[in-house]
Amino acid sequence: MSVLSEFREAIAIHQRKDDEDYDEQISLPIDEREAKGVTMTNLKVVFVFFDHAPNQWCPQLNHPIKFIKSATIYSQNNISKFREGAQVVLSNGSHAFKMEIIEDTVDNFVLAPNDFDVKVCYLDSESYNQNNWEINIVKTDLTLKLLSATAGNLEADSIRLNKIEKLLGGKLENSSSSFFQYQRLNESQNRAIEKAVISPNFHLIQGPPGTGKTETIAHIAKILLDEGKNVFITAPTHTAINNCLNAISNQIRDKSKVVKIGEKYQAAEILTNEFITRKTRLPLESYKYNDELSREGIVIGGTPYCFCYPASKRLNHWEFEVALIDEAAQMSIPLAVSVMSKTDKLIFVGDHKQLDPIIHSGTGLSMFSESIFSRLVKLYPHEKSLLNISYRLNEKLIRIPNALFYNNELFSDSSLITSNQNIRSENYSEVLNHEDPKILYLHNEFDSQGRSPYEANIVAQLVNDLLSNGIILKNIGILTPYRAQVREIKKALNNVIGGIDTEDTEDLFIDTVDRMQGQERDYIIYSMSNSHPLESKRRLDFFYSPNRLNVAITRAIKKCIVIANYKVFDIIDEELAEVADFSNLKPMLDVFKDYYQLTTKIEEDATDEIW
């Protein structure tokens, strides 16, 4: 099957799967929808209104009818899966407003309509009902529109289509007779930069945890910019893009040459960076008449959705000479093809031993079988550069991930120290002060799946101990596989230390593992928050993902504490043999068995009182 044919089939499958998933969830009884986290009910809402029409596409309204600027949602028990950036429908009777979550705290949500949807988001500003509102998942078609636009682009560009065909088929010639030498970073980084610069079509850079892939990207971007090239910086998330742009701006220090495309809430990491220009959109025709932006090379950061019509035509008519794709191991092949359709040369940076993209399974299409990085590493093993020196993980912290995931090819930077600070703790002194910085703390409390108040309270007490010993909030990271456990941990912390989701605690990282990739903290606490995954036999491939485990245990600089019920590691193959797709699941379970054997374990005393 040709790439274009498979791509069009991927569009059809994506549409069908999205429709099926939405219809299945929205047809459930409301209590089941709430339990699954896709609906919230009985909400109090306070609206803020625009005084005038928010943009030129909005009609004039007669007072007291006004356009909605934002909506603050108050909920007594938020167990939803919703998070910042998600689109939802806020409804009450005849009112139904499509909005985006722009703020998510332990107490409430703040929603706001985007520029496109705001024209139909209005109501009586003086007499609306504040109570009995409901939030539901929304059926979105942004990916479908992006893929459809990409298919049209490729159909009209046979040269680029043929190049993509060869790349994905393992037949793209990539040799170069050029010579370039770089000596500013470590040897593995220098060699990766050299190959990335001279390769005519593409290069792959594998960056294991803490090996400086973002810094490597920044140096590559600087070289390309000095050559006068237009460079697109992209990734599956705005956070990853922002981190790259911060590093690039440190090299360039010229805001006319570094631009971020996106909304303000998608720019948290770069808001104070004076060397980055922020734009919600920058069509090529606008750029040509903008005297404040460079004409001699420019770096533009944005997600692949910048090329999607009608997503505000954020980068309409742009073509790039080079695209640098960060976290490429989290990008699906169809999404990557959308970037390929707009650029001549591609540099993929990622780590296929860390998190995979969320893609539709069981489709039978190779485009939905793995990430773009994983596919290309298999096809072109000799086109991959490995960054092999970790500036995060000392010799003790690197031992387990090195053995489990990297064939012991990684090395700790010689400057990293392994000493621990003495932490005074009434209940967890052994955990916090053990000479091994990687601890598996096992308990036997069976409270729930995906949401464990018991583990949340352990986390809260550990954090309180760290704070009591002078550890500051920005040096602590709290991870969990599940969004529901994030909320549970926030509630427990609010009871113990207070002020969660306020300015006083904004430096404390509390989120899912997926949101932590690419980041680090001195102290990492990982709550696995599933008391009996093997008994339920549901979503085992998610919970027992070796890649998610790898990310969780490689974020720490000083200490990594994993909290789990002992049943998580009570894995007996014979009892699981009837599970669907067990042959694929078994290697994943084996990684967890190996981790259990390699790590230092501390079992909770049955008499311990943590409540």
In three-state form (DSSP H/G/I as H, E/B as E, the rest C), the secondary structure along 310-370 is CCCCCCCCCCEEEEEECCHHHCEHHHHHHHHCCEEEEEEEECCCCCCCCCCCCCCCHHHCC
Cis peptide bond N-terminal to 357, omega within 30: no
Residue 497: φ, ψ to 5°:
-115, -20
Distances (CA, A) of 230 to 257, 384, 428, 444: 9, 24, 53, 56
Cβ proximity of 341 and 156 under 8 Å: no
233 plus 282 within the same structural domain = yes
Q: What is the DSSP track for 446-457? A: ---BS--HHHHH
Rounded CA gap, 501 and 485, in Å? 15
Range(s) of the domain holding residue 539 = 395-603
Is 608 part of a structural domain of the chain? no
pLDDT at residue number 136: 93
Rounded CA gap, 387 and 393, in Å? 14
Convert 410-440 to b/e letters by CB count within 10 Å (16 or more is b): bbbeeebeeeeeebebebbeebbeeebbbbb
Is 573 part of a structural domain of the chain? yes
β pairing state of 384-386 and 298-301: unpaired
pLDDT at residue number 367: 79
232 plus 314 within the same structural domain = yes
Is 27 part of a structural domain of the chain? no
308 plus 335 within the same structural domain = yes
Contacts of 282 (CB under 8 A, 6+ apart): 259, 261, 290, 300, 314, 315, 318
Contacts of 493 (CB under 8 A, 6+ apart): 459, 460, 463, 500, 505, 508, 510
361 plus 461 within the same structural domain = no
Is 18 part of a structural domain of the chain? no
Contacts of 29 (CB under 8 A, 6+ apart): none
CA 420 to chain centre: 30
Cβ proximity of 133 and 90 under 8 Å: yes
pLDDT at residue number 447: 82
Rounded CA gap, 117 and 140, in Å? 13
Residue 467 in tokens? 């704070």
206 plus 91 within the same structural domain = no
Looking at the chain, how many residues does it have?
611
CA angle 268, 271, 273 (to 5 degrees): 130
219 plus 364 within the same structural domain = yes
Helix or strand (DSSP H, E) at 503? none
Regions of the chain with pLDDT less than 70: 1, 309-312, 360-363, 536-538, 606-611
Is 147 part of a structural domain of the chain? yes
Tell me which residue of 458, 598, 584, 604 sits closest to 528, measured CA to CA.
458
525 plus 539 within the same structural domain = yes
229 plus 290 within the same structural domain = yes
Is 22 part of a structural domain of the chain? no
Looking at the structure of the chain, the number of domains it has is 3
Rounded CA gap, 381 and 23, in Å? 42
Cβ proximity of 55 and 118 under 8 Å: yes
Cis peptide bond N-terminal to 208, omega within 30: no
Is 8 part of a structural domain of the chain? no
Rounded CA gap, 299 and 19, in Å? 37
* CATH number, position 504: 3.40.50.300
76 plus 192 within the same structural domain = no
